[in-house]
Structure 1
Amino acid sequence: MANIVSERYALSLYEVAKDAKKDELFLSELTAVCEIFAQNPDFLKVLSTPSIALEEKQTVLKNVFAERMEPFLLNFLMLITEKNRIGLVSDMCEAYKEMYYLENGIAEVCAVTAQPMSEALTEKLRQKMCKVTGKKVVLKTAVDPTLLGGIVVKVDNKQFDTSLRTRLSEMAQQLSNTIA
């Protein structure tokens, strides 16, 4: 959950993007920026380091992103760098995404399985979740072999766990309660 500072910056960015009818584009580009920072944590450290002059940081941002993103979004990155808030960019991105999803009737669903799901099964699950939530669904999948089988689905703050690991654990707990 993003903090209040991140939410305010994200809200300001979202309002500008929405007015310009570029809210989806900004989400895509901001997400890409956050992925770059996640893959290159030293890059974010450079932008956060107080001993490096602001002009140098802004030059680096321009060199890396000027040709890759909307000018307003680049200016936003330079502003949050100037205000020493660049370290919160991931939280800002998350808050922006939440606003975009809420306003556009989108639900993010995460499905974790023991084995990778086929394309057909993934699409079937996405369609089922669209019916359950009544929203468009962005389905993210992950693999966790420790589940043994079944599926764990997370929607909003709810989790539906039908994994074999959980069922075996529940059975073991019932047996130990029965025997004890």
Structure 2
Amino acid sequence: MSIKRLNKEYCCSPSAKQYAHVLYELGISKEAVGETEKLFKEVPVLEETFASPVVPMREKLSSIDKIFPEEIKNFLKVVCRNQRMSEISQILFAYDRYCKMQEGIQMATLTCVEAPDEKRLEKIREFLCEKYHKTDVKIEIVKDPALLGGFILKTGDDEYDWSLKGRLSRLEQKLTWR
């Protein structure tokens, strides 16, 4: 097993994380944030339009007033004025993770060839709860046959590589290093 720091691209840009923290601190309801996220997912052209330098700012701000829940309009206008709407998906993703972190829930991504059974998942949850001093863990499972076997566990800025592909890669590095 190896542990390494992940690239910043893994989750979100530093500015997206900052906006997510501000969004959390503003105390905007999760329902309003969820509705906003749903709108951006259902109508992908929204993000492109708000991020476009061709669309006049007054039209963007007017559209925000017409489309989004009242609670979140001012936040979105600030993001828009600061020309960060191209990061809105990252901001909303980081917000969700930050909320879960504040609730004592550790987020993790398990990349594997085949989904593990419940017993193995429970052991992974126990490991993460103990390691990160959390009460619960939410694990997203991603299938990747290129791993050949084993799995990669990513949480926060840490990556635990127990995959066969990772082991072979480390073995190759050791054998070719002089």
TM class by shorter-chain length? Answer: 0.5 to 0.7
Mapped pair 1:2 → 2:21: no
Residue 116 (structure 1) shift: 3.1
Contact 2:47 2:88 in 1 (8 A): no
Which consecutive residues of structure 2, in runs of 5 or more, have no partner in the other structure?
1-11
Runs in 1 of length 4+ with deviation above 6 angstroms?
Answer: none
Mapped pair 1:13 → 2:23: yes
> Structure with the greater relative contact order (CA < 8 A, sep ≥ 6): 1 or 2?
2
Q: Deviations over 1:65-108 (max 9, x none)?
A: 44xxx421234224432443322323433553454344322221
Residue 111 (structure 1) shift: 0.7
Question: Residue type of the partner of 1:74?
Answer: K
- Note closer, same or farther for the CA distance 1:142–1:92 as it changes in structure 2 (3 Å cut): same
Residue 165 (structure 1) shift: 1.6
Structure 1 vs Structure 2 CA RMSD? 3.4
How many residue pairs align between the two structures?
A: 166
Mapped pair 1:107 → 2:118: no
Map 1:69-84 → 2, pairs under 5 A = 70-84=69-83
Q: TM-score, normalised by structure 1?
A: 0.67
- What is the distance in 2 between the residues matched to 1:171 and 1:72? 54
Contact 2:49 2:55 in 1 (8 A): yes
Q: What is the aligned partner in structure 2 of residue 117 from structure 1?
A: 116
Contact 2:33 2:72 in 1 (8 A): no
Among all aligned residue pairs of Structure 1 and Structure 2, give the percentage whose two residues are the same amino acid.
24
Greater Cα radius of gyration, structure 1 or 2? 1
Residue 170 (structure 1) shift: 3.7
Which consecutive residues of structure 1, in runs of 5 or more, have no partner in the other structure?
none
Q: Deviations over 1:43-82 (max 9, x none)?
A: 322222333334433454455x44xxx4212342244324
SS of the aligned residue for 1:50 comes to coil
